[in-house]
């Protein structure tokens, strides 16, 4: 039996249901007439090297002072910004990255994210990767979750599962991404792929946090029947 990303997707979707990631505070943005996509961009930077629960605290701080938009981030004093995002860790570094990013968005796109996301994915990705502090995972998270464009996000959890199942791919970022996108594009239309990539990435993260941990809890894992790691432990 060939184990494919589609099979994993179907098993995890049946187990966990739709997760509708990325979480956005739509009410906040409607009230403040701000762009919810920017919240995703900020979150993608703040989540580097920290847990999402810490990012939520930082985002809450920004929202309490109505600072979660391009204009206000660009105008806020960097020391104040550091204090607001302190819960996310590495706050000096991340404040500088946010400042640099909003300056770039203002200078090149007049702060309008429609102009950023209307182009080809490869062009957007190359541009984001050229910005200091934005690597492949952050860039692809911005493209997928803020831009609503079909690109598969790879993280440490995805690598772990690829190794343990294992899936027929090496573990570099680009190789895993290419493998998932090639396999899934055979079964879903281009229009469907954005939702599939969105849900599958979120499902893998949830699986890794609940079951496929560094020290795995295999007995209840929904993938145990197709997992070589489980078979080796309990053969």
* 127 pLDDT higher than 90: yes
* 161 pLDDT higher than 90: yes
> What does the pLDDT read at residue 2?
81
Q: How confident is the model at residue 190 (pLDDT cuts 50, 70, 90)?
A: confident
> What does the pLDDT read at residue 34?
95
When the candidates are 1.10.3720.10, 1.10.340.30, 3.40.50.2300, 3.30.9.100, the CATH number that belongs to 34-146 is 1.10.340.30
Q: Are 90 and 124 in contact (CB under 8 A)?
A: no
* 141 pLDDT higher than 80: yes
Question: Could you state, in order of their start, the residue ranges of all structural domains in the chain?
Answer: 5-20+152-234, 34-146
Cis peptide bond prior to 166, omega within 30° of 0: yes
Rounded to an integer, what is the distance from CA 113 to the centroid of its chain?
Answer: 18
Q: What is the mean pLDDT of residues 127-147?
A: 96
> What does the pLDDT read at residue 169?
84
Question: Shortest CA distance to 58 belongs to which of 72, 68, 71, 49?
Answer: 68
Q: How confident is the model at residue 18 (pLDDT cuts 50, 70, 90)?
A: very high
19, two tokens: 């997760």
Percentage of residues in the chain with pLDDT exceeding 90? 94
**Contact residues for 198 (Cβ-Cβ < 8 A; gap 6+):** 21, 144, 145
Fold of 5-20+152-234: Endonuclease Iii, domain 2 (1.10.1670)
44, two tokens: 């993608």
For 219, phi and psi rounded to 5 degrees? -55, -40
Q: Are 62 and 21 in contact (CB under 8 A)?
A: no
* 85 pLDDT higher than 70: yes
């Amino acid at each position: 039996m060939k184990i494919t990303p589609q099979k994993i997707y179907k098993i995890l979707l049946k187990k966990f249901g739709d997760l509708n990631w990325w979480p956005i505070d739509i009410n906040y943005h409607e009230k403040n007439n701000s762009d919810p996509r920017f919240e995703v961009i900020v979150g993608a930077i703040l989540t580097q090297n920290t847990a999402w629960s810490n990012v939520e605290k930082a985002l809450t701080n920004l929202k309490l002072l109505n600072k979660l938009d391009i204009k206000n981030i660009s105008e806020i004093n960097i020391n104040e910004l550091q204090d607001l995002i302190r819960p996310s860790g590495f706050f000096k570094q991340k404040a500088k990255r946010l400042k640099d990013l909003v300056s770039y968005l203002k200078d090149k796109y007049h702060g309008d994210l429609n102009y950023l996301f209307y182009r080809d994915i490869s062009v957007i990705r190359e541009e984001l990767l050229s910005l200091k502090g934005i690597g492949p995972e952050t860039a692809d998270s911005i493209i997928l979750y803020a831009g609503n464009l079909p690109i598969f996000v790879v993280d440490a959890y995805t690598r772990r599962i690829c190794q343990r199942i294992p899936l027929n791919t090496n573990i570099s970022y680009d190789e895993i991404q290419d493998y998932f996108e090639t396999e899934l594009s055979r079964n879903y239309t281009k229009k469907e792929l954005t939702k599939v990539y969105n849900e599958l990435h979120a499902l893998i993260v949830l699986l890794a946090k609940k079951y496929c941990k560094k020290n795995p809890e295999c007995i209840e894992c929904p993938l145990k029947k197709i997992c070589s790691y489980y078979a080796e432990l309990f053969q």
